[in-house]
Amino acid sequence: MTATNTIEASAALSLAEVAEVAGVALPAGADAGRLMRGAAALEGAQADQIAYMDNAKYADALAATRAGVCLVSAKFAPGVPEGTVALVCKDPYRTYAKVVTRLYPGAVRPQSSFGESGVSPHALIHPTARLGDGVGVDPGAVIGPEAEVGAGSLIGACSVIGARVRIGRNCAIAAHVSLSHVVLGDRVILHPGVRIGQDGFGYAMGPQGHLKVPQLGRVIVGDDVEVGANSTIDQACFRCEAGSGGSDQAPPRARRGLYGTRDGWVVFFFVDRPGPGLEFNS
């Protein structure tokens, strides 16, 4: 039996399409209709695959590559071998990301474990929960009372969406995620095992012993945030509003690591003032 975990390209791209996505012109003599069917590293790329290069330490790999197309910066373009089409661009890695996203759209965010759409009959959804148009819910997922899931979002297998949790549009919640006391913006990506909004286990310390402090806040995650697998963002007790003067008055214990976004990046940082993309109640 032959098995592979390799993600397959959803469609081939012609050289003309690759150049269009890259925002560059095809070199003279290139066959605009030639198809690229995937992407690979310089060392392993074949004639129907795309590679990129923007680091001098890979000069030998560039010279030996068999890639059909190489996205390359101008200073390394002379090293592209015959038979490989050089597409010269200012930022090869960023351009590569754009092209590969077209080839492998399913690799950009978590997909249904069952490769299906719609709500599985094996999911458990409370009657008061509200699901927008085109929501997908995989088997074993649980959606609690008065929870809201925005249009086009996916809830992965065995994920638990707690009572009154709000999830925005076109979010991807992978398998085995748990959410409580949280509001997610649009296009949020949570990878497998993420936990958000659970008890922050705060305690008042003293000679009489540790006294548990109830955690009454919530976590608000803004648009376009991505959180990696098995990460946690706890609920806490005081409100610390992102981007406002309120964060300056937050108690020292409220100043903890926060997830946010900046210019398309996902950031985890330890600062006094929360960054964009997140309101953290602490």
Q: Minimum mean pLDDT among 194-203, 240-249, 250-259: which range?
A: 240-249
pLDDT score at 269: 33
Whole-angstrom CA distances from 208 to 203, 204, 215, 253 are 12, 10, 21, 21
pLDDT score at 145: 98
pLDDT score at 200: 81
d(CA 188, CA 219): 14
Number of H helices and E strands in the chain, helices first, is: 3, 28
d(CA 189, CA 167): 11
* Residue 136 structure tokens: 């997908």
At position 232, the amino acid (one-letter code) is T
Domains of the chain: 13-107 (3.40.1390.10), 124-233 (2.160.10.10)
For residue 58, give the nearest of 48, 72, 47, 38 by alpha carbon. Answer: 72
Q: How many other C-beta atoms lie within 10 A of the C-beta of residue 260?
A: 22
Of residues 213 and 263, more confidence is placed in 213
* Residue 230 structure tokens: 């098995």
pLDDT per residue as tens digits for the range 57-94:
999 999 999 999 999 999 999 999 999 999 999 999 99
**Cα-flanking dihedrals φ and ψ of residue 93, to 5°?**
-70, -45
What is residue 186's DSSP assignment? T
Categorize the per-residue pLDDT at 273 as very low, low, confident or very high, splitting at 50, 70 and 90.
Answer: very low
Categorize the per-residue pLDDT at 238 as very low, low, confident or very high, splitting at 50, 70 and 90.
Answer: low
Q: End-to-end CA distance of the chain: give it in Å, rounded.
A: 53
Length of the chain: 282
- Which residues touch 2 (CB under 8 Å, ≥6 apart)? none
pLDDT per residue as tens digits for the range 83-139:
999 999 999 999 999 999 999 998 999 999 888 889 999 999 999 999 999 999 999
Categorize the per-residue pLDDT at 140 as very low, low, confident or very high, splitting at 50, 70 and 90.
Answer: very high
Looking at the whole model, is its pTM more than 0.85? no
Share of the chain above pLDDT 90, in %: 68
pLDDT score at 199: 87
Report whether 272 contacts 255 (CB < 8 A): yes
- Which residues touch 197 (CB under 8 Å, ≥6 apart)? 162, 165, 179, 180, 181, 182, 218, 219, 233, 234, 235
